[in-house]
Amino acid sequence: MRASQGNALLRIVSAAIALLSFAAETAPAEKPFGVGERLTFAIEYGFIKAGTAELRVSRGEREDEWMLSSRAWTNSFFDVLFKVRDEIRSTVDANTMESLRFEKRLQEGKFRDTEIVVFDRERDLAVYAGGKEVPLEPGARDILASFYSLRRQRLLIGERIPLVYHSSKKNWAIHVDVGAVETVKVPAGTFRCFVIEPNLKSVGVFRQTGRLRIWITADERRMPVKLESKVVFGAFEAVLTEYQ
């Protein structure tokens, strides 16, 4: 694998959990997850395990807040090619899943990026560290709040869900197509899942990653168990290894 391909692959690895993150304009009161949930994924390129990613739900500082967090890191072998240590945290309203605060700290090879955003819901503004204010479009959430909001929706085969999420001082308009129900086997078990396909062509690093598909359990948890990205030099997967 050429160095340029390795770098491109690990850029995808580092952002794997972000691919699971899409916003719902409104969400029902249903709560298929809660404090204490932890999902762990193996990041694989063919038969090679490249790294690990994790999603967690924990209590926030206030009683009506949750802390959503994701981490992604490469293993010792891929550290030599392109070391990744990414962490994202989102503080949300536990009832509405609206973003209240977002923190992103990325370490990908020599690249570093830190972003802190406060979501001012009274003024409909995203306020960045340094004072820059960006208007929020209706329904816009950060990427983690977006994903958990989607999990509160009941999915229907054939529907197209228009979504907006806020990142990098922009509101991104995308959509997610809900496909057929399939049974998939991953290290954590065998699950009956909806196959959803996000349209991310306009979203930063994902413009050239090819087709993406995500398997979400067709039950009350609507838990992500597998992600597949087909790119020009092969197929990349994130598979669920543990959950609680």
Flag whether pLDDT at 142 surpasses 50. yes
Segment 4-26 shows an average pLDDT of: 45
* Residue 223, Cβ density class (10 Å: 0-12 exposed, 13-18 middle, ≥19 buried): buried
In the chain, count H helices and then E strands. 3, 14
Mean pLDDT, rounded, of the chain: 83
pLDDT bracket for residue 27 (50, 70, 90) = very low
Chain center to CA of 159: 20
Gap between the Cα atoms of 178 and 161, Å rounded: 8
Flag whether pLDDT at 35 surpasses 70. yes
pLDDT bracket for residue 47 (50, 70, 90) = confident
Segment 29-51 shows an average pLDDT of: 85
pLDDT at 184: 96
pLDDT one-digit tens code per residue, 168-221: 899 988 888 999 999 999 999 999 999 998 876 433 333 334 678 899 999 999
Q: Name the token pair of 78.
A: 């891929």
> Where do the domains of the chain lie?
3-243
